[in-house]
Structure 1
Amino acid sequence: MSSAAPVVWARTVAEVQRTLAAASRSGTPVVTRGAGTGLVGGADAGPGTIVLDLSRMNRVLGIDPVDGVARVEPGVVTAALDRAAAAHGLMYAPDPGSVTTCTIGGNVATNAGGLRGAKYGVTRDSLLALDVVLADGTLLHAGHDTVKGVVGLDLVGLIAGSEGTLGVVVGATVRLLPRPLRTATAVAYFATAVEAAAASAALATAGVRPAVLEFLDGKTLRAIDGLRGTGHADRGDALLLVQTDGFGAEEELEVAAAVLARSAQEVTTATDPAAAAELFAARRDALPAIEAKGPVLIEDIAVPRSRLAEAVAGVAAIAAATGADVYVFAHAGDGNLHPIIRSGPGDATRAAEEIFALALKLGGTVSAEHGVGLVKRPWLERELGPGALDLQRRIKRLFDPAGILNPGKAI
């Protein structure tokens, strides 16, 4: 095999098998690639590496509305799967921020989350079975095509989030859920970001389980206002977006709104889809508004929900100490913060490192849904401990003895 860096655009499982078998014989590294929406360098490939692109394996192979499952290839765009499920009154719950472009294979690789993670979890929670090509070209079917299955070790859970270091996912059986017939939405504005974060934690003890619970800080609101000409920052220095769903959506939102009203300056609710879309607009505009100011470093940590307010305050203190221009929005329902650090002012690298350290200090993680890739690999031992990290690397060697699968990433 040549020392050049070829790209293989696979269309079939057999082509993936042949590629990996040849790479295994020659000891050539292989990096699997989907839509390229990753944020931590997980699909970066150096010289002499085969780039295995799965974007052309993009078929929804079947949807069974009775069993509530779909069989898909890895190159299926996540939003396309959800649209296909909608035709049967179902939904695919995970919805990463790049849902209109990212693919199921990449979602599995990073165990991606999204706005609905507060209620429906991350990609692993919607996986039933995976077809995986191992480093030597062997095809493995892991998991069960049934909703329930407890026989054997959970290889699906192990492969999800492994970022292409254990095998190449060439097919998935995913769980589909009934599409909610009703949704209800509220936006609450707060005087401070810490008050907003505390209010999101209060919802957890009020018997409320929102499908969406999002947080935006004042700097983010001001960026949105600058981009769209809106007046969010005039109404508060932080925002919480809450959406409930299902048959009791309106009743559940009433409880949530009452909790928010204890500390919010203003609460607005909507049950009409068009009005709800207007309330969602600020959240959708958050990252584009910040990026409009210039290049950014998009970070990703998570802390226990009970410590979200401490995390928000801590990030603000780090920004002040380093002079970095930091904006924060969050999937508040599961404690997942996205500190966005704008390049230029202050020490962005030092700010990012201190934010990672803050996450661990608060009992959290340096990566909630973006993965580890290259960027966060130096933090693995500090978060996992040497024993757990050594065990994971031994498992990697069992799956990939020659170390050809995405070397130097994730583990």
Structure 2
Amino acid sequence: MTVVTSGPVADLIAELGDAAVTDSDTMIAYTRDQALLCPSGLPLAVVRARTVDHVVATLKTAHRHGIPVVTRGAGTGLAGGANAIDGCFVLSTEKLDRILAVDEQSRTATVEAGVINGDLATAAAARGLWYVPDPGSRAISTIGGNLATDAGGACCAKYGVTGDHVARIKAVLADGRIIHTGAVTRKNVAGLNLTRLLVGSEGTLAVIVEATMRLRRTPVHTATVAAAFPDTVQAVDAVLAIQAVADPSLVELMDRTTIAAVNDMTHMGLDETAGALLLIQCDGDAAEAEAQRSADACRAAAATELYVSTDAAEGDALMQARRVALTALERRGSTLLDDLAVPVPRLPHMLEAITRIADRHRLLIGTFGHAADGNLHPTIVFDAADPDSADRAHRAFDEMVTRCLALGGSITGEHGVGSLKRRYLEPMIGSVERSLMTGIKAAFDPTGILNPGRAI
């Protein structure tokens, strides 16, 4: 390994010691997230920050030398937002992993950015409290990463995304200054809402190092409904009918392709003759009654099979089918996962378009997602080693996003823009609106070193 004696890397090592890594074999693990088809570059160094002071020193050094900084948590992102840029510093916050406080009276938890979502949920549960945001990656993704992308999950329709559960953020600006945004009070309208600007900014405005997250009382009762339908149109009819009679915590959809893939992997015995499967969960004191009304709505929408359970363990077992959907599809080839959100009444149009696109490009596309809020994850299965297959996958991806926009939808519901979807941002939001966003970035990061070319 070459010994660096001068320049930005030498300055970094002088400041951080062994927290700064330049060994190429070690750095390779920090160069990309899970969006495997998004480009990634070679960093000058990787910083595995163990303290806020490490983050401050990294940014001061980068600011002084004009070095780009790409911040990453656990690397579970799906839009290329944490992929390294040639000549950058990769700043990992995964070792900032302390749960600093859980306050039962205020129902808040203060954590460092590298705390795993599921670990926070476990710590809250030990106090009889509930950390709600539940992205599919909750067992491995970090709170800092969840905040950076404003991650969602199955419970979003009732409880909102990560940003709806944050009270206060501690972050470091590009020049190394520390800022605090928000308040632990339940109400706070003082000044501009800097917290909401940081949430979802994908590391382009500041580096989140600590957050105070809101907790809820744990629901005592849950009830689960599994309903099979001849096709996705009838399943969406049921979703609309359910929303008129109940307020479920989640309504998850799987199409025929996904059902078959999950069956192949798990041998769960799901109905492979069904065109769609809905998994519905209700919570709270009225959980059983709401689940029954949901089941009645499914029956009226021509459900071919119905199962209702008030047993929490059975409900969790049913939900396992949805949790392994992506893993099951990944067993069939390389995957390109999309993240589209449309108004719920327009779900049938989006699902129909996905089917047509799959047929036209001769691809397997399995669709699953959060039907209650219109957030779908059509997953293209293809052969990455075959240039023609990869080209068809990219064209299919582009057509799905274009159709989503035509239906009044969003190019991302919970995964972020990253580098994967940046070209679609202006067509969605408009040029004037995008210029406002770039102006905000310039106010936070005048020299443009924080995750350049990403998110906005």
Q: Which residue of structure 2 lines up, in the alignment, with residue 229 of structure 1?
A: 267
For 1:43-122, list aligned pairs within 5 A.
43-122=82-161
Partner in structure 1 of residue 63 of structure 2 = 24
Distance of 2:320 and 2:415 partners within structure 1:
23
Give yes or no for contact 2:422–2:454 (8 Å, CA) kept in 1: yes
Residue number in structure 2 paired with 1:370: 415
SS of 1:112's equivalent? coil
Question: 1:146-161 maps to which residues of 2 (within 5 A)?
Answer: 146-161=185-200
Give the conservation status (yes or no) of the 8 Å contact 2:80–2:418. yes
**1:368-407 → structure 2 map (5 Å cutoff):** 368-407=413-452
Query: Secondary structure of 2:323's partner?
Result: helix
In structure 2, the residue matched to 1:181 is 220
Residue 205 of structure 1 and its aligned partner are, at CA, apart by 2.2
Report the secondary structure of 1:222's partner residue.
helix
Matched, 1:292 2:331: yes
- Determine if the alignment matches structure 1 residue 409 to structure 2 residue 447: no
Count of residue pairs brought into register by the alignment: 410
TM-score (norm 2): 0.88
The 8 Å contact of residues 330 and 337 in structure 1, kept in 2 or not, is answered as: yes
8 Å CA contact 2:8–2:61 kept in 1: the answer is: no
Q: Per-residue CA shift, 1:20-61, capped at 9, x if unaligned? A: 111111111101111000111101112210011110100110
CA distance in 1, matches of 2:158, 2:197: 22
Unpaired runs of at least 5, structure 2: 1-6, 10-42, 384-388
Q: 2:196, 2:293 → 1: CA distance?
A: 35
Matching residue of 1:212:
250
Residue 132 of structure 1: CA displacement?
A: 0.9
Matched position secondary structure for 2:378: strand
Judge conservation of contact 2:133–2:155 (CA < 8 Å) in 1: yes
Other structure's SS at 2:347 match = helix
- The equivalent position to 1:356 in structure 2, one of 385, 396, 401, is 401
Structure 1 stretches lacking a partner, 5+ long? none
The answer to whether the 8 A contact 1:201-1:308 is kept is no
Q: CA deviation at 1:8?
A: 1.0
Query: Cα distance, 1:314 vs. partner?
Result: 1.4
Matched AA of 2:336: L
Indicate the SS of the match to 1:171: strand
Runs of 4+ deviating beyond 3 Å: 1-4
**Residue 110 of structure 2: SS of its match in structure 1?**
strand
User: Corresponding residue for 1:253?
Assistant: 291
Aligned 8 A contact 1:235 1:266 in 2 = no
Cα distance, 1:14 vs. partner?
A: 1.6
Letter paired with 1:257: A
Query: Secondary structure of 1:239's match?
Result: strand
The one-letter code of the counterpart of 1:302 is A
Match of 1:162 in 2: 201
Q: What displacement does 1:235 show?
A: 5.2
Matches of 2:86 and 2:369, distance apart in 1 = 37
Q: Equivalent residue for 2:242?
A: 203
| Aligned counterparts of 2:272 and 2:438: Cα–Cα separation in 1 | 51
Q: Is structure 2 residue 315 aligned with structure 1 residue 265?
A: no
The 5-angstrom pairing of residues 7-22 of structure 1 reads 7-22=46-61
Distance, in Å, in 2 between the alignment partners of 1:212 and 1:380 is 28
The farther-off stretch of 228-237 and 353-362 is 228-237
**Residue in structure 2 matched with residue 280 of structure 1 by the alignment:** 319
Superimposed CA distance per residue, residues 299-319 of structure 1 (whole angstroms, 9 cap, x where no aligned partner): 100001111121111111111
- The answer (yes or no) to whether the contact 2:182–2:188 under 8 Å persists in 1 is yes
Q: State how 1:320-359 maps to structure 2 within 5 Å.
A: 320-344=359-383, 345=389, 347-359=392-404
Asked if the contact 1:40–1:375 (Cα under 8 Å) also holds between the matched residues in 2, the reply is yes
SS at match of 2:153: coil
Superposed CA RMSD: 1.2
1:133 corresponds in structure 2 to: 172
> Which deviates more, 112-121 or 223-232?
223-232
2: CA distance, partners of 1:274 / 1:167 = 41
For residues 75 and 278 of structure 1, the distance between their equivalents in structure 2, rounded to whole angstroms, comes to: 29
Structure 2: distance between partners of 1:144 and 1:275: 39
- Mapped contact 1:311–1:359 kept (Cα < 8 A): yes
Determine if contact 1:95/1:116 at 8 Å carries over to the other structure: yes
Greater Cα offset, 74-83 or 246-255: 246-255
User: What letter corresponds to residue 231 of structure 1 in structure 2?
Assistant: G
Q: Kindly indicate whether structure 1 or structure 2 has the higher relative contact order, using CA contacts under 8 Å at least 6 residues apart.
A: 1
Deviations 1:323-359 (A, max 9, x none): 2211100111111000000013581111100100111
CA distance in 1, matches of 2:122, 2:317: 21
Supply the distance in 2 between the matched residues of 1:234 and 1:123 (Cα, whole angstroms).
34
Equivalent of 2:278 in 218, 225, 240: 240
Higher mean C-alpha displacement, 90-99 vs 304-313: 304-313
Structure-2 separation of matches of 1:256 and 1:230? 23
Output one character per residue of 1:238-268: Cα deviation in whole Å (capped at 9) or x when no partner.
1000000011111111111111111211110
**Matched letter for residue 427 of structure 2:** R
Residues of 2 paired with 1:198 and 1:138: CA distance? 52
- Cα distance in structure 2, aligned partners of 1:44 and 1:364: 26
Report the identity percentage. 45
CA distance in 2, matches of 1:131, 1:375: 28
Q: CA deviation at 1:232?
A: 1.8
Contact kept, 8 Å, 2:259 with 2:272, in 1: the verdict is no
For residue 193 of structure 1, what is the aligned residue in structure 2? 232
- Distance in 2, Cα, partners of 1:148 & 1:78: 25
Change (3 A) 1:42 1:145: same
